[in-house]
Amino acid sequence: MTQKSWLFTSESVSEGHPDKVCDRISDTILDAFLAEEPNARVACETLTTTNHVTVAGEVRGPKKVLDSVEDLVREAVKDIGYEQDGFHWNTMEVVNRLHQQSADIAMGVDEGDKGEEGAGDQGIMFGYACNETEELMPAPILMSHKILRTMAEARKSGKEPRLQPDSKSQVTLRYENGKPTGIDAVVVSTQHGENVSQEEVREAVLPFILHALPVGWSIPENRIYINPTGRFVIGGPDGDAGLTGRKIIVDTYGGAAPHGGGAFSGKDPTKVDRSAAYVSRYLAKNVVAAGLADKCLIQLAYAIGVPEPVAVYVDTHGTGKVDEVALAKALREMVRLTPRGIREQLGLTKPIYARTAAYGHFGRAPDADGGFGWEKTDIADALARHFGARADAAE
């Protein structure tokens, strides 16, 4: 029997969370390489702990960017807002262990005789979209992101000086017949100043929670948990070590859809862990925007060194209005799903990645300079016409 009502929870973490600090540093370095050389190869991993950052990995790009890594790291941490005794952008130790890319890997992914590169690795990538929000995203993860994003904006603007960079949120929604109908619980834990009381933290955070609620929704005060363990002064990398790529569910759909396992940050778009996850979201979003399904999950699978995906899978969770096999075929015809084809379709060789490192890679508005280009619904009309349907949400 299909469950008709349930609770579902998603979480987010702020840009000051130790793992997100690492994602931001890795993507800042990636952007610096792409700004100088759009075809640069970058696989940058970052580790943070008390007053320390180590970056490591493989690159192929201008030496002057390699030489500027320490400055890039410090600028990223400064922008996040860390000026604490245990983690300060100006006094922390920075170790650079980036080195040149393996010739064996380069051989597999470099352009071949037919003008195509092979995938940078084997793997499976998922994309998802649903019509429960205007952004065609699951509602719990969007709300979790919104709470922390608006908190960070207020902190960095000086409007809310009681808050510090490290924070987490968690939102639980009630669902009836597949649609979100109300909010059951919210949890927010945030780092705060030394002399800020628990009552002041609650006073500071509560408006951001209420602002994130849809119009007409409310939540009992006893279902809002703010810093439930109490004091949270020591945070960020001083409180817990961080690594690139440890928040992959936060980055995507909050657990509402499968995840292939590959992280995004620090990887150039020849790495299908990133680019194929982006195009999977793009395809799924356009399917839903075209009115062909209420929900759409797409899986792409690749082999290292092989340009074309070895498999394309479409699942509309019983909400589809067209045959899923025919839909997969049409998508492959409309969008070239090789690494080069994906890059060209979505404009992925630009320095657009540092902005993705916090508050989700999906459900964001496309930027004029090409950022979040995978959020466009510019093939929805063509999809709808192909199947004789109507694209209600196409751009």
Task: List Cβ neighbours of 254 (8 Å cut-off, separation of 6 or more).
Answer: 10, 11, 12, 138, 140, 141, 144
**Is 376 annotated in some ligand binding site?**
no
**What per-residue confidence (pLDDT) applies to 117?**
82
Rg (CA), the chain: 21
Joined tokens for residue 104: 């064996």
Q: Tell me how far CA of residue 344 lies from CA of 189, 247, 341, 348, 350, in angstroms.
A: 41, 27, 5, 7, 11
The mean pLDDT value for 135-142 works out to 98
Positive or negative, the Cα torsion across 236, 240, 241, 246?
negative
Task: Output the domain CATH number for residue 158.
Answer: 3.30.300.10
**Is 350 annotated in some ligand binding site?**
no
Of residues 112 and 59, more confidently modeled? 59
Q: Is residue 128 part of a domain?
A: no
Q: How far apart are CA 244 and CA 238, in angstroms?
A: 16
Number of separate domains in the chain: 1
Whether residue 110 is predicted with pLDDT greater than 90 in this model: the reply is no
**What per-residue confidence (pLDDT) applies to 103?**
57
**Is 267 annotated in some ligand binding site?**
yes
The mean pLDDT value for 369-392 works out to 89
For residue 278, how many other CB atoms are within 10 A of its CB?
26
Joined tokens for residue 9: 């929870």
**Is 198 annotated in some ligand binding site?**
no
Q: What is the pLDDT of residues 295-330, one digit of tens each?
A: 999 999 999 889 999 999 999 999 999 999 999 999
Whether residue 394 is predicted with pLDDT greater than 50 in this model: the reply is no
Confidence of residue 106 (pLDDT cuts 50, 70, 90): low
**What per-residue confidence (pLDDT) applies to 249?**
97
Lowest mean pLDDT among 110-124, 146-160, 335-349: 110-124
**Is 58 annotated in some ligand binding site?**
yes
Return the ∠ at Cα 77 (arms to 74 and 80), rounded to 5°: 150
Helix (H) or strand (E) holding 296, with range, is: strand 295-302
**Is 179 annotated in some ligand binding site?**
no
Contact 164, 235 (CB under 8 A): yes
Positive or negative, the Cα torsion across 172, 246, 135, 207?
positive
The mean pLDDT value for 238-258 works out to 97
Q: Supply the range of the domain harboring residue 143.
A: 5-13+139-234
**Is 333 annotated in some ligand binding site?**
no
Q: Is residue 165 part of a domain?
A: yes
Joined tokens for residue 390: 């109507």
Whether residue 209 is predicted with pLDDT greater than 90 in this model: the reply is yes
Q: Is residue 220 part of a domain?
A: yes
Of residues 390 and 153, more confidently modeled? 153
**Is 135 annotated in some ligand binding site?**
no
Confidence of residue 391 (pLDDT cuts 50, 70, 90): very low
Q: How far apart are CA 131 and CA 142, in angstroms?
A: 13
Whether residue 116 is predicted with pLDDT greater than 90 in this model: the reply is no
Q: Is residue 198 part of a domain?
A: yes
Query: What is the number of H-type helices and E-type strands within the chain?
Result: 11, 13
Q: What is the pLDDT of residues 163-175, one digit of tens each?
A: 999 999 999 999 9
Q: Return mean pLDDT, the chain.
A: 93
Q: Is residue 225 part of a domain?
A: yes
Q: What is the pLDDT of residues 65-79, one digit of tens each?
A: 999 999 999 999 999
- Percent of all residues in the chain with a pLDDT value above 90, rounded to a whole number: 88
Angle between helices 324-334 and 380-387 (to 10 degrees): 130
**What per-residue confidence (pLDDT) applies to 105?**
55
Q: Is residue 184 part of a domain?
A: yes
Catalytic residues: 17, 19-20, 45, 58, 168, 232, 240-241, 246-247, 267, 271, 273
Q: Is residue 129 part of a domain?
A: no
Whether residue 113 is predicted with pLDDT greater than 50 in this model: the reply is no
With b for 16 or more beta-carbon neighbours within 10 A and e for fewer, the 367-376 pattern comes to eeeebbbbbb
Residues listed for the chain:
395
Task: List Cβ neighbours of 180 (8 Å cut-off, separation of 6 or more).
Answer: 132, 139, 140, 173, 174
For residue 69, how many other CB atoms are within 10 A of its CB?
22
Contact 383, 298 (CB under 8 A): no
Q: In three state form, how does the secondary structure of 225-270 look?
A: EECCCCCCCCCHHHCCCEECCCCHHHHCCCCCCCCCCCCCCCECCC
**What per-residue confidence (pLDDT) applies to 389?**
63
- The β-bridge relationship of strands 83-84 and 87-88 is antiparallel
Q: Is residue 364 part of a domain?
A: no
User: Residue 283: CA atoms inside 13 Å, Cβ hemisphere, count?
Assistant: 31
**Is 154 annotated in some ligand binding site?**
no
**What per-residue confidence (pLDDT) applies to 309?**
95
Confidence of residue 1 (pLDDT cuts 50, 70, 90): very low
**Is 101 annotated in some ligand binding site?**
yes
